[in-house]
Structure 1
Amino acid sequence: MSVWDGIVGQQAVTRQLQAITTGDPKAIAQSWLICGPPGSGRSNVARAFAAALESPDHGLSDEPTNVTRQILSGTHPDVTTLATNKVTIGIDDVRELILTSEQMPSTAPWRIIIIEDVDRMLERTTNVLLKEIEEPSPHTIWMLCAPSAQDVLPTIRSRTRIVNLAVPSTQAVTDFLMTTVNPRQPEAKQFSRNVAARAARLAEGHIGIAKLYATESQVMSDRDELIVGLLGLRKASDAVLLADGLIDTAKSQAEADVNEQAERAEAEFRRINGLGERDRIPPKLRGAYNAIAKKDELKRQATRRSRDVLDRALNSAASVYRDIAVLQNNAEDAVGIINLENRTAIAELSARMSRQAVVDRLEHIALARRRLFGNGNPMLVFEALFCSLIP
């Protein structure tokens, strides 16, 4: 299949980019800003675009070329991706990218630099990048990814060609889960179309979260418990207990995720170096081995993953009040309900709350998100939030 077939729910954008990659190379813009809400697949679009630009077949062959496979797997020498597990992208990382961007490509037509989550750059770091974006090296293409054009500085925005992604439909995400994710699962972990459809609905167009819900039943169950807890809030003690349970869940999910990632990295290191599972690491490889298992780095990753879980909880909480607003405005037939399994409780709450009270609670959730990503204490943030949500 072509490199574009793996992009979910972005037919208009893929047609636009495909036309560019098969057109006049001299007409290709060298600085791009790919925008889309979390989970819309902006990083995947950037990688597919890079593969289509670099591969001799423009990524259109049913059988991917070696160039395409290397780019999609992150191993091509002329395509560099900066992804971060930190809260912000560091200035040293960007300076290193700039040095890379000034080198001639080794085997492909372009040297391509992809920066995921460019909105995580502080202004000082962005200013370092600005000159390169404005005047790229002749054989370099920059692809920056952000939730929206408004999330980056106007100076960057004005110097890039902007591509806006849509929120993938529930149907498109469901089809992706069934045709792409499910076949790769071990037989014991394969899921039904009903599970895929529910995961897509609850993820609200976020492809990564939909995949997580479909493949990890415990994560789906944790979300169910959170929604029931939110709908059952009656007093402050309920809020405190719900916050405590959520923080514990976030911590355990993050630690399990990071530990699994570390185990995969260790297994790959052993495989590459011809070592068995129980073989001792030779002294000459000890430094490289320790580099993939840095405790400080794993701790930072766990903190970041924990924040991701909590951010997902905020989205789930917002979906409850979104559903209430839908019922209050008689819009269910037009836009549907996200939390269908809890419709009765949501309908009861919608009858008890005013429209302004719903808006106020959505603002409370937005405030909690700002506090959380401003390094507020997660326990205090969620205790305060859940208390403010009590009817």
Structure 2
Amino acid sequence: MTGVFSDLVGQDEAVDVLRRAAESAARIVAGTATGNGAMTHAWIFTGPPGSGRSVAARAFAAALQCERDGAGCGECHGCHTVLGRTHADVRFVVPEGLSIGVGEMRALVLRASSAPSGGRWQAVVVEDADRLTEQAGNALLKAIEEPPPRTVFLLCTPSTHPDDISVTIRSRCRVVPLRQPPAEAVAEVLTRRDGIAPDVAAWAAAAAQGHVGRAKRLARDGDARTRREAVLAVPRRLTGIGACFDAASALIEAAEAEAAAAVAETDASEKASLEQALGAGGTGRGAAGAMRGAAGQIKDLERRQRSRATRSQRDALDRALVDLAGFYRDVLVTKLRAPVPVVHSDAKQMSAAAAERWTPESTLRRLEAVLACREAIDLNVKPRIAVEAMMVTLWEG
């Protein structure tokens, strides 16, 4: 596969739909539309984590701005600037905190109501539309109900369940379902695009359970591999109630450390830029007073940074829980002699040993405990409480 859709792994049906829509959009711009209905003003991309929801939305936005053939050549200025997130007519909404607020959404809708500067399409890409607050969702709904000419809304959500996206927004959008890509397809793109050795790419793709971003991280980041190994060692550490709480603390602290490292550079850069804009370090008359008056803006930045850190911690913890769920899935597969490969091939001996000790029922209870922990954290249960409860269940079986 070539062009802007080349990184959308294992999604041939979705790519076909999006190519036809982009071609239809090009005809609308050229004034030669046939009215076949392939193009519409609002889309929802759904699928499990790692399926490529945001990749698909970004690629489609690039195809809409393609200056060569209208199908996303991947080589023209329009395609390059969208993929690089610098195109003037494409706006990306990526929540840094736990939610997307109404103020941010209203501002984006207002900007998207203007005519496209490049003469093609205005596109708003909401990468985590399931994090819209109710008020933000209502602001978006009004825009979708009365869309400006040649403005397209591209929403990414795990599913079309009302918990992820409102029924009224769903009813006004065309849905593009994506599936978890097979490990073989993920390995191929890691080798082709990122130059990763085939054997390493195959291992990382399997260990990441088809998640392209996670597979790339495992293949290239030694710290990520170390964290994964620590997670896979959790079942062996659960020898008593005290060990359960120790393991929970270790998991939480590892997620906090990973998140802190991930946001530290961005936080420092943002604060330095704001302080410079507000006159920090100035020696002229009124410089000190200006900084005192800017305290509110600095506090607002710090609040947003704390929210981003919380989101980053939860994302890091969720990655660990996905790895842990994969281990218990491997135990169940081994116990039942299922004709499918294990996820964690490098922990095959551990999962085989556990399969000899545990019954299928107790293994399933453990797997369900990990999945319940993920859901509880998603519902804003304190992560430490959710993880401690999970650890006790994993120990008891």
TM-score by length of 2: 0.85
Aligned counterparts of 1:386 and 1:329: Cα–Cα separation in 2: 24
RMSD value, Cα: 2.9
- 1:91 alignment partner, one of 93, 99, 102: 102
The residue that corresponds to 1:243 in the other structure is 248
| Correspondent of 2:67 among 56, 77, 85 | 56
Q: Which amino acid aligns with 1:328?
A: K
189, 193, 204: which is aligned to 1:180?
Answer: 193
Aligned partner of 1:208 in structure 2 is 213
Q: Separation in 1 of the partners of 2:321 and 2:101?
A: 27
AA aligned to 2:255 is A
* Residue in structure 1 matched with residue 394 of structure 2 by the alignment: 389
Residue 15 (structure 1) aligns with: 16
For 1:60 and 1:155, the matched residues in 2 are separated by 31
How much has 1:239 moved relative to structure 2?
1.4
| Partner deviation per Cα, 1:117-166 (whole Å, 9 max, x = no partner) | 11112334322322322331122111111111223122121111000112
Check 1:212–1:263 CA distance in 2 against 1; reply closer, same or farther (3 A cut). Answer: farther
**Structure 1 residue runs of 4+, over 4 Å off?**
262-267, 280-284
Which amino acid counterpart does residue 319 of structure 1 have in structure 2? G
Query: Which residue in the other structure is 1:374 paired with?
Result: 379
Contact kept? 2:182, 2:210, Cα under 8 Å = yes
Q: For 2:377 and 2:314, how far apart are their aligned partners in 1?
A: 8
In the TM superposition, 1:267-282 aligns within 5 A as none
Change (3 A) 1:70 1:197: same
Give me the TM-score of the superposition, normalised by structure 1. Answer: 0.86
Give me the whole-angstrom Cα distance separating, in 1, the residues matched to 2:138 and 2:189.
38
Q: Which residue pairs with 1:339 in the alignment?
A: 344
Mapped pair 1:36 → 2:37:
no
1:265 Cα deviation after fit: 6.8
1:363 aligns with 2:353: no
CA contact (8 A) 2:318 2:374 kept: yes
For 1:351 and 1:376, the matched residues in 2 are separated by: 34
C-alpha displacement at 1:256, in angstroms? Answer: 0.9
Distance 1:281 1:178, change over 3 A: farther
Amino acid at match of 2:225: M
Identity of aligned residues (%): 32
Q: Distance in 2 between matches of 1:87 and 1:98?
A: 20
Tell me if structure 1 keeps the 8 A contact 2:237–2:247: no
Q: Distance in 2 between matches of 1:10 and 1:167?
A: 9
Which residue type is aligned with residue 152 of structure 1?
A: I
Residue 74 (str. 1) matches residue 75 (str. 2) = no
Structure-2 residue corresponding to 1:329: 336
Structure 2 stretches of 5 or more lacking a match? none
3-state SS of 1:389 partner: helix
SS in 1 for 2:233: helix
- Structure 1 gaps of 5+ residues are 183-190, 274-279
Bigger shift: residues 374-383 or 14-23: 374-383
Say if 2:164 is the partner of 1:157: no
Output the amino acid matched with 1:17. Answer: L
Q: Which amino acid aligns with 1:76?
A: H
User: Relative to structure 2, which stretch is displaced further, 343-352 or 311-320?
Assistant: 343-352
